[in-house]
Amino acid sequence: MYIYINGNFVRQEEARISPLDHGFLYGLGVFETFRVYNRHPFLLDDHLERLNGSLKALNIHAAFSREDIVKILEGLFEKNGFRHAYIRLNVSAGNGGVGLQTEPYSEPNLIVFSKPLPAAAGMTEKEAVILNLQRNTPEGTERLKSHHYMNNVFAKRELGGRMDAEGVFLTKEGFLSEGIVSNLFWYKEGVLFTPAVGTGILNGVTRRFIMSLAEKNGVEMREGFYKLEDVEAAEEIFFTNSIQEIIPVTIFNGTDFPGKAGRFVGNMHGFYQVHRESLWSRNDINGGVARE
């Protein structure tokens, strides 16, 4: 398997970075994961918008355009022979001395990983399990998709090896926040709800896409601070992330829900299918169909 690292395509077992990389020493790095459908990187512009904003917040002097990343992806597709793929685009601060640095980082390490995925199929249902571990607070003003992933690792260990479930974090105040690797939504009486960014969640790219889809299709959207009882009265519940897309919930904290049989989640998945081989940004949605 080939990966891209700093201008070169190399076999992944041959890739090297310095132990002085501050992404390794201090967690100063960010990443994006997204799917490629038939060689189209879905919502790439939105992923790069978040990535470039995060790099600025970390004082890493780099920014990447659609053209930059598409060229890299085309090289990976040719090397690895993929049409449908999982992509992880990783940028770490680059080398520094041992010790905290306040100066900007001007030579970051860019690594792009890929692995094959099957062509997209139907939705996969999961049970939502409330975690005992609380969601930690962001290191800065808003959570970045950064190398600081220990809270998620501990949560995954608490959930265990279950593939049919997703863990749900609560904040220390008892508010719902997000899944271990997903954002949370629920639908009730014509309104779509999701926890606010102020609960410490990652503002997911797929989260924002679903919110845009809902609003473009006349669905009222509410973000806020919610407790367990707010969700238990819902009609439908689902998770979102960029790899698993929309994940309908069949059981939430012991209560049954319709899963993929839900009408709303079915409609959202239908819109997702329409867009995933062509859309570059949520800003290009025009109702159920993307603008040309």
269 and 131 assigned to the same domain = yes
93 and 191 assigned to the same domain = no
Structure tokens at 71: 């060229």
- Decide if 110 is inside a domain: yes
145 half-sphere exposure, CB direction, 13 A CA radius: 25
220 and 195 assigned to the same domain = yes
pLDDT tens for residues 78-90?
999 999 999 999 9
Could you list the residue range(s) of the whole structural domain that residue 29 is in?
2-116
Of the three residues 84, 116, 148, the one that is the final residue of a domain is: 116
Q: Which amino acid type is present at position 10?
A: V
Contact 271, 256 (CB under 8 A): no
Q: At 158, which CATH number?
A: 3.20.10.10
Q: Is 142 exposed, middle or buried (0-12, 13-18, 19+ CB in 10 A)?
A: middle
pLDDT at 40 exceeding the cut of 80: yes
112 and 243 assigned to the same domain = no
Of the three residues 61, 91, 116, the one that is the final residue of a domain is: 116
pLDDT tens for residues 2-24?
999 999 999 999 999 999 999 99
286 vs 155, which has greater pLDDT? 155
Quote the percentage of the chain above a pLDDT of 70. Answer: 98
β-bridge mates for residue 168, sequence order: 130, 179
Determine the pLDDT at residue 56: 97
Determine the pLDDT at residue 291: 41
Give me the number of domains the chain comprises. Answer: 2
- Decide if 269 is inside a domain: yes
